[in-house]
Amino acid sequence: MEQSCKAFKVGSCEGEKVVDGETMPLVLHPAEANKNDLETLLLTLKNNKEWFEQMIIKNSAVLLRGFDVNSAEGFNEIVETCGWENIRYVGPAPRTQIYKRVWTANEGPLSEFIYYHHEMVLFKDHPLKVILYCEIPPPEGGETPFVPSFKVTEKMLKEYPEWVQIMEEKGLKYTFTARSTQNDTSSMRGRGWEDAFGTSDPIEAEKRANALGMDMEWQPDGGVKTILGPRNLTKVFEGRKGRRMWFNTIVGMHGKELSSATLVDGTEIPEHVVKRCGEIIEEESIQFKWQKGDVLFLDNLALLHGRRPSLPPRKVLVATCK
Ligand SMILES: [Fe+2]
């Protein structure tokens, strides 16, 4: 696949890495410095739609930089022009709709590290693309690190072949306990099950959870434990070079106050395996400094992503697509 396209100028950014011969992220600038207006960008995307999508799959991450994207409305037009269908977000992140397909990425406290994940990894349908737009770049921290998922599988296979095999064969089980909004005084995440399932009726909430493939166990304090499983450890997706993606969230959920990740029969995954896996994810991570107007396209089937703690202000908006 031709890396260059005369409609864009290929650039580079600090922090990029070459993974298996592909630069991540692929940085695309305006073809001519004085043609950085939104209209030209939209036209260029429209005329090179197929090529652009192939670049996202090939390089896993594409960063549009140097274009005059200065509002959620402008970002929404970019998303619409790409033409991929919207997928509704389901998950623990507190989000607010800003404009049409554009939402806040996560309103959890900026001091919190949002741990690496494939978006909606535990559900049947996951977005194929996660698109992020930087309206206000953070003064310090606040990067959106991402990780080529197959690299994690490769290293884990090398270091813990038996455990990879056991987890793959048996499957994984996750639990997550959501408090009731009525009892939740914490500022962390701040979402009770009422918000997560969009209803304060427990019967309706349970119906919605079941539809998403979760079981529920109600707690004496009004909270609920959601149980998901069996789930795969890795997945291979069409068109991704047969790469085995680390399509799970064991490091993020294992042994936490409100969550767990075990084998499907409840057997614990050894602490040192999970810890080393966390180190591998960090070793393989790629990050750059956000600049105002950046638009980042992530192949959600190929990359884990997260958010580093940030000093305020920081405003990064998101759209998720099928
Ligand atoms: Fe995310």
- 308 Cα–ligand 1 center, Å: 12
pLDDT digits (tens, 9 = 90+) for 119-149: 999 988 899 999 999 999 999 999 999 999 9
pTM: 0.94
Q: Which amino acid is at 256?
A: K
Q: Which residues surround ligand 1, an ion (CB under 5 A)?
A: 119
- 322 Cα–ligand 1 center, Å: 15
- 167 Cα–ligand 1 center, Å: 24
- 31 Cα–ligand 1 center, Å: 30
- 321 Cα–ligand 1 center, Å: 13
Cβ atoms of 65 and 27 closer than 8 Å: yes
- 118 Cα–ligand 1 center, Å: 7
pLDDT digits (tens, 9 = 90+) for 34-92: 999 999 999 999 999 999 999 999 999 999 999 999 999 999 999 999 999 999 877 77
DSSP 49-95: HHHHHHHHHHHSEEEE-SS---SHHHHHHHHHHHTPPB----SS---
- 270 Cα–ligand 1 center, Å: 26
- 45 Cα–ligand 1 center, Å: 24
Query: Which is more confident, 183 or 112?
Result: 112
- The number of beta carbons lying within 10 Å of the beta carbon of residue 230 is 12
- 32 Cα–ligand 1 center, Å: 33
- 116 Cα–ligand 1 center, Å: 8
pLDDT of residue 251: 98
- 318 Cα–ligand 1 center, Å: 9
Specify the pairing of strand 26-30 against strand 61-64: parallel
